[in-house]
Structure 1
Amino acid sequence: CRMIMLTSSVSFSKGSEIFQGLVNHDDPQTAQQRANEYLQKHNVEEMLYGIVRNMLKAQPENPFLYLAQETAYADAKKGKAAGLSIMEVPTGHLYSLFEATKAITAEIVPKETVNIIIRQTIKLLNCDRASLFVFDKRVDMLILNASNQSKPIRISPGQGIAGNVFTTKEAINIPECYNDDRFDQSFDKATGYRTKSLLCMPILDFEDEAIGVVQAINKVDDGCFTQVDELLMGHLAQHAGIALRNAEVYREAIQASDRSNALIQTMQALAADLGAQSVILTLSMHANELVRADKNTVWLVDHSREDMWSVSTDSGNELRIPMSAGIAGECRKTNQIINIRDAYADDRFSQSVDVRTGYRTKSILAVPITCEEQPGVVLGVIQLINRLELDGEVGEFDDADIKIMETFSRFIGPRVMKTTFLNKEKKVSEMEAVTREPVAKKSVNDPQMVSLAEVTAEEEAGQA
């Protein structure tokens, strides 16, 4: 029993070293002496009795699995409280830790993973509130999800206590927050809440990279977080890191699947004999499924009128803008992708429509529509406004968004070229018809005919 515990105790690496010495050491007596010293120093025998006693009390169906679970938290290297062993933690706390980690690692959906980590932290540490900060590489920000907030908040790495824990990868335990200069009281002043004690722990992945921060707030009964709390939270953070990574992989897989399905659905929809307006509406709908944009417009070039036209997804009205107008016109003229991270910092963008409507344009992605059969000729422009992140905030279009929209543009090019040709033929037929009266077209330049969707289209084109 001593030998078994020697290789499965809290100091696993040290135990393995001595065990190896017992097997291979030239002097068995010396090896035995070292083993006995280690057993006495770490009170391994008493620890074994405790595990056996708990096993008999629990009477698990699989004793070996039970022993593995009881010693699974042996290596407390990450987040371990100084001078405290996991086996010094009361059995009830260890059982709660096991239940918490089991619940966390069982979830894979990103949003539910975040929620369950928060709930289990509150339950395990017996605190009033808990917060989880997850690092988003897309925006280089920590996204705060809290038990008392319905909408996430963003902070920069290094900002505040949580930001400092993220950058230093070191836990912080504050018994009285208002006596600590690092604590930002603005949140308490804004909400009326009184933060007293705080325990903040970094969440590290398998490569020892910080991917987030878990934070417990206000120990119940106005107490302070103890070394036991630190040790429990350290182990919880390890499992939270695994769960968050799994959730991220799951999210990326679902996203890739959704994009593939969107391309397939686009191919099926365009296989039908659609008119020009139906083609535009179909492309607009599927473009949103490929990239999470708040708004998008598909513009087709009309060389006969030297302008670009589209269809309002709101009213179905036809919209027209000059061929070289705004961001869309620049994209058509240069035949280059335009990715703007901050529209207000770009001279090509006009803020007048935002001022008039109250909308805030931040990020813009414009992609030219081309066809290999007509190299160098731009058939139209796909323009997306405000990339939406998972938390609902406006972010920036990244390389993955650009790549998928380039693929989408090449894919729809031949169909757009066919639509443009058929549209020209239709206009010729109409001109040769008996009725030669001009068809009235609604323009975004006519203030009496501007709908909300038309204003949106005007804004996306960068027009005043």
Structure 2
Amino acid sequence: MQEIKMMDADEVRERAQESVDTYCQKHDIQGIVGDLVSKYLLDRPEDMNPHEYFAQQLRLKMLAGDEAHLVEAATKVPGYALRQLFEATKRITSEIVPKETIRVIIEESLKVLNCDRISLFVFDKRIEMLVLNASNLEHPIRVRPGQGIAGTVFTNVQSVNIADCYNDSRFDQSFDKETGYVTHNLLAIPIVDFEGKCLGVIQAINKNGAGQSFEPADEILLTNLAQQVSVALHNAEFYRAAIVTSERANALLNMMQSLTHDLGAQSLVLSVATHASTLVRADRCTVFLVDDRAEELISIANDSGIEIRIPKSHGIAGECATENKLIVIDDAYEDARFNPEYDEKTGYRTHSIIALPVKRPPTKDKACAVIQMINKQEFDDEIGRFDDEDVQVLETYAMFVATQLAQSSLLSARGKANSEEFETHTNTTSMKQGMDSFQGVIEEMDEEED
């Protein structure tokens, strides 16, 4: 590791002061502050304190290249609204937990905009959908980019202010017809980060007050809020990534610890299923052992411990085992290989699937087992799809357990004596490959988090 030179407190303060001085000179901070104070002393506004006045003047400067009606509107934003905006900004940017961040954004935006409803659409690149969280929804729903007004605002990265939604061809009336709610007017602002990338859309619906609609001053307020929302969403995403990395690292370490114990075949399979499910946040996991002699796949029910056998050529797991290949399915009902019979009997709904072969060491030309995961669980409790990172982690996991699962499958095909001989030959190589791959995955996770 690179050696870090230790500095005393005085040296740290000196360097920090040099950095501040350089920044102030580069951006003429002294000149900006001087201009603001001079203008405030000349105007002496009675309805604003200095903080509110300075915030308004800075916003006017930022709007210098924008449309004239927005520049004029900025001068009419009342002082109390600026105070609300300031307080909302503090609360929004103080949260990092994803669910709490979304809740606070909606709650504070309702206060600032003085409207009936707030909808927050956040783009999830893993599923390429806008995830809608709204003040009137118990659970989030998903919207395609380009769908409806919010989807259009996201795609075009342009604000929309509609005074009469039912006279606008872009407005989708289906939600109102389904719920009985009437949308009169709305204001939708794109959420753009510091790199110019659109993260989502924040939408205000039905301005409070009879006959009221959203004015340019509301656009100013919501645009300012959207800027802070982009920061909060970035922070929440970093937090989510850190939690995922921590959970996966702990699961891998727990799995390594469990493999040091002398587990029977049934306990081993159940342990593998438990750890694999934690690694990729799957709703369900099944581990199939391959019995080449009987041409069957063997699984053990998690709840009853009953051994279940199916033909090796049967279903997605069978194809994975027979062809020794990875299978990833985003929507099971759109894939001809999926058999919905189990869903129809139980009422369960299968969405996303990943089937990973555990390749028999040392040649890896055959699968000794299959790990099949059902329904990726996202942080909003909705079903997502398995991504490349999930595949990478599971492949590393499979390398660790390959020898142990190979022994279990070989016991039925070649007998205990042959499997013990096989273990002696392959154990060292398999575990070394697993450790090397594990280290690589952890390093990549750390780099992504940084």
Q: Which deviates the most, 69-78 or 409-418?
A: 69-78
**Other structure's SS at 2:107 match:** helix
Distance 2:392 2:64 in 1: 41
Cα deviation 1:230-282 (Å, max 9, x = unaligned): 10111000000111111111111111111111111111112111111001111
Shift in alpha-carbon separation, 1:286–1:69, aligned structure 2, 3 A: farther
1:204 aligned partner: 192
Unaligned segments of structure 2, at least 5 residues: 1-26, 418-450
Shift in alpha-carbon separation, 1:323–1:227, aligned structure 2, 3 A: same
Distance 1:87 1:322 in 2: 74
AA aligned opposite 2:124: D
Report whether the alignment pairs 1:151 with 2:174: no
2:62 aligned partner: 75
Shift in alpha-carbon separation, 1:418–1:427, aligned structure 2, 3 A: closer
Shift in alpha-carbon separation, 1:53–1:216, aligned structure 2, 3 A: closer
**Other structure's SS at 1:82 match:** helix
AA aligned opposite 1:367: L
Report whether the alignment pairs 1:231 with 2:225: no
Distance 1:314 1:378 in 2: 26
The offset of 1:425, in angstroms, is 8.8
Superposed counterparts of 1:212-291, under 5 Å: 212-222=200-210, 223-291=212-280
Unaligned segments of structure 1, at least 5 residues: 1-14, 21-38, 59-65, 429-464
Cα deviation 1:317-368 (Å, max 9, x = unaligned): 1111122222112111211111123333433332333333333333221101
Contact 1:143 1:152 in 2 (8 A): yes
Distance 1:79 1:177 in 2: 25
Superposed counterparts of 1:333-412, under 5 Å: 333-412=322-401
Report whether the alignment pairs 1:107 with 2:95: yes
Distance 2:280 2:294 in 1: 31
Distance 1:424 1:51 in 2: 89
The offset of 1:88, in angstroms, is 4.2
2:296 aligned partner: 307
Shift in alpha-carbon separation, 1:414–1:68, aligned structure 2, 3 A: farther
The offset of 1:54, in angstroms, is 5.2
AA aligned opposite 1:393: E
The offset of 1:228, in angstroms, is 1.2
2:316 aligned partner: 327
What is the number of equivalent residue pairs in this alignment? Answer: 387
The normalised TM-score by structure 1 is 0.75
Shift in alpha-carbon separation, 1:259–1:359, aligned structure 2, 3 A: same
The offset of 1:304, in angstroms, is 4.0
Superposed counterparts of 1:158-197, under 5 Å: 158-197=146-185
Shift in alpha-carbon separation, 1:424–1:79, aligned structure 2, 3 A: farther
Shift in alpha-carbon separation, 1:412–1:160, aligned structure 2, 3 A: same
AA aligned opposite 1:178: Y
RMSD, aligned CA: 3.2
Cα deviation 1:406-437 (Å, max 9, x = unaligned): 11111211222344456779879xxxxxxxxx
The normalised TM-score by structure 2 is 0.78
Shift in alpha-carbon separation, 1:46–1:71, aligned structure 2, 3 A: closer
Distance 1:131 1:275 in 2: 52
Q: Which has the larger radius of gyration?
A: 1
Distance 1:141 1:230 in 2: 25
Superposed counterparts of 1:58-97, under 5 Å: 73=59, 75-76=62-63, 82-84=70-72, 86-97=74-85
Distance 2:45 2:363 in 1: 76
Shift in alpha-carbon separation, 1:423–1:120, aligned structure 2, 3 A: same
**Other structure's SS at 1:145 match:** strand
The offset of 1:87, in angstroms, is 4.9
The offset of 1:83, in angstroms, is 2.9
2:119 aligned partner: 131
The offset of 1:92, in angstroms, is 1.5
Cα deviation 1:163-193 (Å, max 9, x = unaligned): 1111111111112222222222221222122
Shift in alpha-carbon separation, 1:150–1:47, aligned structure 2, 3 A: farther
Contact 2:288 2:369 in 1 (8 A): yes
AA aligned opposite 2:83: Y
Shift in alpha-carbon separation, 1:158–1:53, aligned structure 2, 3 A: closer
1:45 aligned partner: 39
Contact 1:79 1:230 in 2 (8 A): no
AA aligned opposite 2:62: D
Q: Percent identity?
A: 48
Distance 2:288 2:101 in 1: 40
The offset of 1:387, in angstroms, is 2.2
AA aligned opposite 1:151: H
1:63 aligned partner: none
